[in-house]
Amino acid sequence: MFINGEWCAAVSGKTFDVTNPANGEKIADVPDGGQADAERAIQAAHDAFAGWSGMTAYERSRILYKAYELMSARKEDIARTMTTEQGKPLRAAMNEVQYGADFLLWYAEEAKRVYGETIPAPRGDQRFIVLHQPVGVVAAVTPWNYPASMITRKVAPALAAGCTIVLKPAEATPLCAIEIFKVLEEAGVPAGVANLVTGFDPKPIGEEFVTNPLVRKITFTGSTETGKLLARGAADQMKRVSLELGGHAPFLVLKDADPVFAAKGAVLVKYLNTGQACICPNRLFVHESGIEAFTNEFVSRVEKMRAGNGLDQGINIGPLVNEKAIEKVERQVADATAKGAKLLCGGHRLMDDGLDKGHYYAPTVLGDVTPDMLIYREETFGPVAPIIAFDDDDDILAMANDTHYGLAAYVYTQNLSAAMRTFEGLRFGIIGINDINPTGAAAPFGGQKESGLGREGGHEGIFEYLETKLGGFSI
């Protein structure tokens, strides 16, 4: 762990194993931190806050820019660590590390753009001035599916704003976090400003984050259920919260769209990170006039995918994170086929060629999916694509919005009016119009409804870590 500028063991002296999901082998052990370690890290962050927030924006910017350079230079090494502990193919891991570095660069620049304002006052002897100042100590919890970029997407704006931070990475992927904190240390982040607490059981660390009054903001990426628990706990002390939670993205292929072109995009985004991404489409709505061409192209591409260890050449599909993830996918597929869905390809666990040592599930396509099936309602987080026919473009908005999630959605159309109508009508925070990658460090990322609160990325991201202060001067 990294607390107050020093690499250290857990107070208890305990460690836990990190394993490779591709083959089940142990790759490292890391400190098994708990409540006492979190408390120590929070105190260090609190003690460092005055000095860090008192630095100029230009000084903080230079450190973040140095971190960007270091992370970019170490892209392949960090990517290999990611593939080994998380499972995604190496090329995808390289892309993620670069995406993560982009946040360091973006917020190195945004640190210098936290502008105040003056406001005309109603009295001649009065002046109003508005400042934006850092909220204080931030507690961050990040997920296993994007174990590098989700860290910098929180750490970079927090540090740019002048906050100090304590990070709890996912227990499945602490090694990426360790590598990123080595980058921050070498870049010159002062002691106590950025702290890392690893632990196998997130509960005692999370409870300390919620109950410790020195923490003034919690930022979390993960399940909606856990996000709600953190939000309830944070309310007792009125802590600020940012929550990036689950998704159930619809993918709409309207009547005028090219179904083959849409299928190519749908395959790429559906099986992104083996389907383990909150923005992966979970419901593929295709107009009945194009469903045959769409399905044929989609299935043809999926059947060519190759599963295996992400360090091997030509791998498209990595392992799922654990056995529980396999069980969820198996349950959804069994439920769908029992209720009449057609299994078009896949539909089974992969066991040949040594894959039985990991958590592999064949990329799967289901046809004739209906609203009474679990996969229509539940987030899958796995490599299963349910295809659903519809016959009226006017009804598709209601079908797509029929979920308590609201993170990402996708629309394929060649009609400008239809594109604008669906963009405005979909109740989701991120909409890709003929675009399967509507994300970037410069763009706001976040959801509506039960997919979360707040935004990460863009200029909106830094304001999640700032308080607005009004000064009224009588002269």
350-364 pLDDT, tens digit per residue, is 999 899 999 999 999
Cα distance between residue 315 and residue 215, in whole Å: 42
For the beta carbon of residue 417, count every other beta carbon within 10 angstroms: 8
Q: What is the CATH number of domain 2-245+449-474?
A: 3.40.605.10
Model confidence pLDDT, tens digit, residues 244-261: 999 999 999 999 999 999
pLDDT at 394: 84
Helix axis angle, 75-86 relative to 174-187, nearest 10°?
160
Identified catalytic residue from 110, 244, 456, 464: 244
Pinpoint the residues of the chain covered by CATH 3.40.605.10.
Answer: 2-245+449-474
Model confidence pLDDT, tens digit, residues 191-243: 999 999 999 999 999 999 999 999 999 999 999 999 999 999 999 999 999 99
244 is catalytic: yes
Identified catalytic residue from 110, 163, 208, 278: 278
Question: The whole model's pTM is what?
Answer: 0.96
Model confidence pLDDT, tens digit, residues 280-310: 999 999 999 999 999 999 999 999 999 999 9
Domain 249-433, architecture per CATH: 3-Layer(aba) Sandwich (3.40)
**Residue 253, amino acid:** V
Model confidence pLDDT, tens digit, residues 407-452: 999 999 999 999 999 999 999 999 999 999 999 999 999 999 999 9
Pinpoint the residues of the chain covered by CATH 3.40.309.10.
Answer: 249-433
Average the pLDDT over 35-56 and give the result: 98
Name beta bridge partners: 134.
Answer: 466
Cα distance between residue 234 and residue 232, in whole Å: 6
Average the pLDDT over 107-122 and give the result: 97
